[in-house]
Amino acid sequence: MKIMVTVKRVIDYAVKIRVKPDKTGVVTQNVKMSMNPFCEIALEEALRIRESGLASEVVAVSMGPSQCVDTLRTGLAMGADRGIHVEANDSMYPLFVAKILKKLVEIEKPGLLILGKQAIDDDCNQTGQMVAGLLNWPQGTFASKVVLDKEKQVATVDREVDDGIETLCLNLPAVITTDLRLNQPRYATLPNIMKAKSKPIKKFTPKELNVDIKPDLEIVEVTEPPKRKSGVLVSSVDELIEKLKHEANVI
Amino acid sequence: MINRNSRNTLRFLTRFHHHQHNPSSQFTSKTVFDENCKQLKRNVLPTENKAFNFFNPLTNFFKNKQLGHGISCGILQKCYYGSMGGAVQRSSRFSELNDDDVRYFEEILGKKNVVQDEDKLSVANIDWMHKYKGSSKLILQPCNTDQVSQILKYCNSRCLAVVPQGGNTGLVGGSVPVFDEVIVSLSSMNNIISFDKVSGILVCEAGCILENIMSFLDNEGFIMPLDLGAKGSCQIGGNVSTNAGGLRLVRYGSLHGNVLGVEAVLANGTVLDMLKTLRKDNTGYDLKHLFIGSEGSLGIVTKVSILTPPKLSSVNVALLACKDYSCCQKLLQEAKRKLGEILSAFEFLDGQSMDLVTNHLEGARNPFSTSHHNFYVLIETTGSDESSDKQKLEAFLLGSMENELIADGVLAQDINQASTFWRIREGISEALMKAGAVYKYDVSIPVENLYNLVEEMRSRLGDAANVIGYGHLGDGNLHLNVSVSQYDEKILSQIEPFVYEWTSKKRGSISAEHGVGLMKANEIFYSQSHETVQMMASIKNLMDPNHILNPYKVLPHSITS
């Protein structure tokens, strides 16, 4: 069985984000970019499934400008077998990613599609769900545990939901999106980095896949959230009550 | 738990240990402390019952309740004191503090800045390693240079001994009183005065915490030329006064090169304004160098002007495993050649250090979990071009692997992984503290002999102690640490003076970067000639005739008493 994993190139999560002065977006020039942390977890899970013998191949997919190849190389250095780069210079909104993934799935025919639950740049949390809908595949999102049963061709997924943990049983092929506590991703070791250099990366364009990615969303404005005001030390209970009444308006 | 804002979730859950280091939070409240001390007194062994002024703790009470960021707050009930404490006598030349003195200080500083509170005193009287305890009754918190000048002028006239204190993270007992010296804390003087964005020259007060300066500079696109594990608490005045080395020395050089100016107050209150912001200034004797590294014994540093390098965008960190020490050495040679100008840090640690960190530090794991290696090397490169730096580093690492200089290695793929590698190296001191008592040595020896000291010490002590070695291999600086469950005179006698003699024979330094403080004041002759030390004493007598500044430290007692 083949596993397809999507990896997204985003601003490194440890970087302090700054909004561009013209408010059209955030500053990405000279800023460190890395693989989306949830995508790392997704890839790690796929690698573990392959290592346990339940899958034969892990294919990493990334969409975007040419620098996405760096992210794919990281994925290959972690252990993925092949990479696919869909080259596109426009913003990749979840619906386009989902449509392109559908086409790739039709070409590659994986038994499992694993994505990170959301990307840390747009926090959309939509791609996994959309692609499952387009493919009409079952989905297990916010996975904190995944157990595969090859004979029965099902995946048992523990999901982290607001009420607690929900366990679902999905028939394969299925879509799984990963949450933080699923696993701890491995490091890229030097022997693997060396091997990654010879692993193939196939290129596609949205046109070749017959997907129209003209944006139907327009970003109007990007601003910083209002700065948190500093606290005030009150000197007596009366003053506290007065402030709660008149300033905070809570009593 | 579906958290919409993943960035904050990640920050909360994937703890960013790298920047948290707050040793002062490890201190206990007064009552717990006294409780322990009473208990310790009862348990003192007969052999320790000498006329010494130190305790020998027998049990390490350590409740393992850590708060996420590797800080154990207030529950770390350790208190050990050891080593030098008892051999020094309080000098009769110093007066004792009286109420008139306190009143005078209150007049010039205001009541709020004159601290006699027992809890605060108990924290300020003990060093970070819990090895030295003073009995000062007073902490003064001046807010500006003028107040520092008035304090010193008064203390000089009254012959009151003074200890300048910054972040109190020193490792040789130089930042805490030995007896009842008045503590002059620079913590309130924490303003950044000016920053020139073109030249990168920063002027700030001595009490600025290093990490805060780093955050400020980060916003401006610059970095500090020094970086050390204690950055969350240490202050720049202390860094300058001890000529701190740190992790980036191999790239940016020492503070003697980066500090452009210093404002210091002499023992008699005179303010020496040498706060220049010029790269080049050859007018007369460059006196600021006297204050850099003299550990507060020649004057109190109140302001610093420092040259900061621009922040470069591409930082890469790799952690490598080597099978023996000679591979580490050869790797250093190759790194200097192949990585050249982009090399910004070259650290090493032995297998025992890695084990210590993974066992005692929360959240730290060995990236090479499947195999055990004898040595690890951490290499950091900093440059302006991400792709070319990464290519250079990868080519160097793969080449080294082919030449069998490295057995294995991992390359950090994002900032978080890089921080995890640094945490392993920077967390060794913390892990040592958690493991028990530690005898800490910091020596500078020619690189080829560096590790021999560790091996010889290991065979000397055998099973009695866990000897680990790690340090700034790029600068030839070894941090030799002997970890034991409790301080023990027998073990100490096996370590000292052997370690100093050994270092001296190799013409090394008995204190590469930690300074001399109280711990090594009498050992200074192992690394300096008598004539040199006599000259140091003459300078001390000239600048501080009453010897009120940080007494009993830096220079041997035979010379200063």
**How does residue B10 score in pLDDT terms, banded at 50, 70 and 90?**
low
Among the listed residues B459, B462, B467, B460, the one whose alpha carbon sits nearest the alpha carbon of residue B440? B467
Is residue B43 over pLDDT 60? Answer: no
Q: Cα separation of B304 and B112, whole Å?
A: 26
Q: What is the pLDDT of residue A150?
A: 87
CA of residue B55 relative to chain centroid, distance: 24
Residue A58, in any domain of the structure: yes
ipTM for the complex shown: 0.84
Q: What is the pLDDT of residue B488?
A: 87
* Residue B412 near chain A (CB below 8 Å): yes
Residue A135, in any domain of the structure: yes
Residue A93, in any domain of the structure: yes
**How does residue A81 score in pLDDT terms, banded at 50, 70 and 90?**
very high
The average confidence (pLDDT) of chain A is 92
Residue A249, in any domain of the structure: no
Residue A129, in any domain of the structure: yes
Instruction: Please tell me which residue of chain A has the smallest CA distance to B417.
Output: A187
Residue-wise pLDDT for B195-239, tens only, equals 999 999 999 999 999 999 999 999 899 999 999 889 999 999 999
Tell me the mean pLDDT in the region A159-178.
94
Instruction: Please tell me which residue of chain A has the smallest CA distance to B395.
Output: A194
Residue A231, in any domain of the structure: no
Domain span at residue A34 reads: 2-226
* Residue B407 near chain A (CB below 8 Å): no
Q: Is B22 helix (H, G, I), strand (E, B) or coil?
A: coil
Residue A239, in any domain of the structure: no
Distances (CA, A) of A176 to A51, A122, B155, B213, B270: 18, 19, 71, 44, 71
Q: Cα separation of A108 and A86, whole Å?
A: 14
**How does residue B17 score in pLDDT terms, banded at 50, 70 and 90?**
very low
User: Residues of A with CB below 8 A from B406's CB?
Assistant: 190
Q: Check CB contact under 8 Å for B411 and A188.
A: yes
Residue-wise pLDDT for A31-45, tens only, equals 889 999 999 999 999
User: Residues of A with CB below 8 A from B411's CB?
Assistant: 77, 187-188, 190, 193
Q: Check CB contact under 8 Å for A14 and B9.
A: no
The CA distance from B481 to the nearest CA of chain A, in Å, is: 29
* Residue B401 near chain A (CB below 8 Å): yes
Element (H, E) at B457: helix B450-461
Distances (CA, A) of B448 to A251, B329, B502: 73, 7, 14
The average confidence (pLDDT) of chain B is 84
Q: Cα separation of A182 and A195, whole Å?
A: 27
Q: What is the pLDDT of residue B16?
A: 37
Q: Which residues contact B26 (CB under 8 A, 6 or more apart)?
A: B71, B72, B73, B74, B76, B433
Q: What is the pLDDT of residue B3?
A: 41
**How does residue A215 score in pLDDT terms, banded at 50, 70 and 90?**
confident
Residue-wise pLDDT for B370-383, tens only, equals 788 999 999 999 99
Please tell me the least confidently modeled range out of A91-105, A224-238, B350-364, B526-540: A224-238
Residue A107, in any domain of the structure: yes
Instruction: Please tell me which residue of chain B has the smallest CA distance to A31.
Output: B313
* Residue B5 near chain A (CB below 8 Å): yes
Element (H, E) at B419: helix B415-426
Q: What is the pLDDT of residue B11?
A: 52
Q: What is the pLDDT of residue A17?
A: 87
Tell me the mean pLDDT in the region B324-340.
92
Q: What is the pLDDT of residue B8?
A: 53
Residue-wise pLDDT for B84-95, tens only, equals 444 788 999 999
* Residue A12 near chain B (CB below 8 Å): yes
Q: Check CB contact under 8 Å for B414 and A13.
A: yes
Is the four-CA dihedral B409, B423, B133, B78 of positive or negative sign? Answer: negative
What is the model's pTM?
A: 0.81
Give the A window 163-202 contacts with B, CB below 8 Å.
180, 187-191, 193-194
The CA distance from B386 to the nearest CA of chain A, in Å, is: 9
Among the listed residues B182, B230, B184, the one whose alpha carbon sits nearest the alpha carbon of residue B206? B184
Total domains in chain A come to 1
**Where does residue B398 rank: exposed (0-12), middle (13-18), buried (19+ CB within 10 A)?**
middle
Residue whose pair of structure tokens reads 């020649």 in the numeric block: B298
CATH of the domain at A176: 3.40.50.620
Residue B497, preceding bond cis, omega within 30 degrees? yes
Q: What is the pLDDT of residue B538?
A: 96
**How does residue B60 score in pLDDT terms, banded at 50, 70 and 90?**
very low
Is residue B62 over pLDDT 90? Answer: no
Least CB–CB distance from A189: residue in B4, B386, B409: B409
The residue of A13, A72, A144 whose CB has the most chain B CBs within 10 angstroms, and thus the best one to mutate to test that interface, is: A13
